[in-house]
Amino acid sequence: MVEIILKSEANSGLEETQIFDAVKQSIDEYPGRLGKVLLLPPDITRGNSGAGIITAMYYMLLKDACKVDIMPALGSHVPMTREEQIEMFGPYIPEECFIVHNWRKDVVKIGEVPGDFISEISEGLIDEPIDVEVNRLLLDKSYDLIISIGQVVPHEVVGMANYSKNIFVGCGGSSMINKTHMLGAFYGMERIMGRDHSPVRKVFDYAEEKFARDIPLMYVLTVTTQSGGKTNIHGVFIGRNRKLFEQAVTLSQEKNLTFLDRPLKKVVAFLDGKEFKSTWLGNKAIYRTRMAMADGGELIVLAPGVKQFGEDKENDRLIRKYGYVGRTRVLELCKQQEDLKNNLSVAAHLIHGSSDGRFSITYAVEKLTREEIEGVNFKYMPFKEACRLYNPEKLKDGFNILENGEEIFFISNPALGLWADKNRF
């Protein structure tokens, strides 16, 4: 299989023509051999991945020669609307090309990661086996090539997102999603985020090596930043070999990690309403800044689009029921409550979304009530009031001094990075 590495030397990123040439080169080695292709991009919650334009490129190059299906790697996220499809992938891909992945119903078990391996990599914290399940379409022999497209960026569960995570979580089932989320939460986010060889990544590596070799996969990995509302693609890595992922990790660590000389007392993070509609996703503002926050500090999350907590009704119900009550309490609840014990990804999410009392978290919203926000253990602020105090259109990324003399640290998109006090990383 072809291996392509494309990196920009400029801060502005790669030119679109360079990316197109790399995409074309990646399929040129299959002349006349592609009758049916499956594309696995992320959904709108990864809108700044660059995967939208790359998916559109593959579609335009392949559509006249073969059948192209597109299945966004939703994981447990809600399906994309037609408007979101058009926004992310453009208007030229017909709606009938898109297939919805259902993580509860559409998966087939292809193997099991044994409990003794889980115990070894988790330092004895967990010893339960994990089923390896993937969407049944990945086993459909009529597909000549399956192209997994996505962004390598610091991540709270696996350390660095994408590569085989896109397959085993994005297109995976409940066992893998639930148990790897809990594995990461038990092991500790601070030990994982921004790093490659985490326990969860080792689970994915095991599954890739043992159970996915017969799947005709090609990975297309991007590394991006954002400036002036524009996504800059700094690297594109195409192939199957893990070394390509490792090179993308190195580039992401360079582009997406921000180290600070001192902890931050006050952080304001903005969540684009088109991308963030739940705290399940919006809590990236918490995950990605927790290693930068000072004890007793304050995090204010500007969240105009957040209208729910979970990405589906059951997860939303559980978050409302138990709230973001801290690691110790959530672990106690997991032992006591069957509904939480059977939904470990929710339990992990509740751990991730709490500061454990170390700093305060305020959600500034307009689509949820004070009672709803305070009911899950966050502080509440009306979005319009927050914007009067911290206008995201006037703030620049990094340190800002407000008119009243107060210093804040502003983050325009927490999904694109990781911020950490040098002494905590």
pLDDT for position 47:
82
In sequence order, the 6+-apart residues with CB closer than 8 A to the CB of 129 are 112, 113, 114, 115, 118
Q: Could you tell me the pTM of the whole model?
A: 0.89
How does 230-243 read in b/e, with b if 16+ C-beta sit within 10 Å?
Answer: ebbbbbbbbbbeee
What is the per-residue pLDDT for 393? 93
pLDDT of residue 223: 97
Give the residue from 291, 424, 261 showing the smallest Cα distance to 356.
Answer: 291
What's the pLDDT at 188?
87
Residue 15: CB atoms within 10 Å: 12
Q: Which helix (H) or strand (E) holds 338?
A: helix 338-341
Q: Three-class SS string for 340-357? A: HHCCHHHHHHHHHCCCCC
Residue with tokens 């304050």: 298
- C-alpha to C-alpha distance for 217 and 238, rounded to whole angstroms: 11
Please give the structure tokens belonging to residue 298: 């304050």
pLDDT tens series, the chain, 425 aa:
789 999 998 788 999 999 999 999 999 988 888 999 999 999 988 888 999 999 999 999 999 999 999 999 998 888 999 999 999 999 999 999 999 999 989 999 999 999 999 999 999 988 999 999 999 999 999 999 999 999 999 999 999 999 999 999 999 998 999 899 989 988 988 899 999 999 999 999 999 999 999 999 999 999 999 887 789 999 999 999 999 999 999 999 999 999 999 999 999 999 999 889 999 999 999 999 999 999 999 999 999 999 999 988 999 999 999 999 999 999 999 999 999 988 988 999 999 999 999 999 999 999 999 999 999 999 999 999 999 999 999 999 999 999 999 999 999 999 999 999 988 77
- In 154-261, DSSP assigns E strands to 154-155, 159-160, 217-227, 230-239, 257-260
Take residue 399 and report the two structure tokens written for it.
């340190």
Rounded to 5 degrees, φ, ψ at 212 are -115, 5
Tokens representing 405? 């003399």
Contact (Cβ atoms closer than 8 angstroms) between residue 284 and residue 415? yes
Tokens of 82: 């037609």
Task: Please report the domains of the chain, with CATH numbers, ordered by start residue.
Answer: 4-257 (3.40.50.11440), 261-421 (3.90.226.30)
Structure tokens at 95: 């709606």
**Which DSSP state fits 99?**
-
CA distance 289 to 269: 9
> In the prediction, which pLDDT does 10 show?
77
Please, are residues 366 and 379 in contact by the beta-carbon 8 Å criterion? no
Asked whether the CA dihedral 303, 304, 305, 308 is positive or negative, the reply is positive
307 and 313 Cβ atoms separated by less than 8 Å:
no
Token couple for 291: 């290693």
pLDDT of amino acid 249: 97
pLDDT value of residue 189 = 87
Query: Contacts by 407-412 with C-beta closer than 8 Å and gap 24+?
Result: 407/265, 407/266, 408/266, 408/267, 408/268, 409/264, 409/266, 409/267, 409/268, 409/292, 410/267, 410/268, 410/269, 410/270, 411/267, 411/268, 411/269, 411/270, 411/285, 411/288, 411/289, 412/226, 412/270
d(CA 228, CA 319): 34
- What's the rounded Cα separation, in Å, for the pair 113 and 211? 10
List the Cα angle 267/272/277 in 5-degree steps.
105
How far is Cα 315 from Cα 391, in angstroms, rounded to an integer? 32
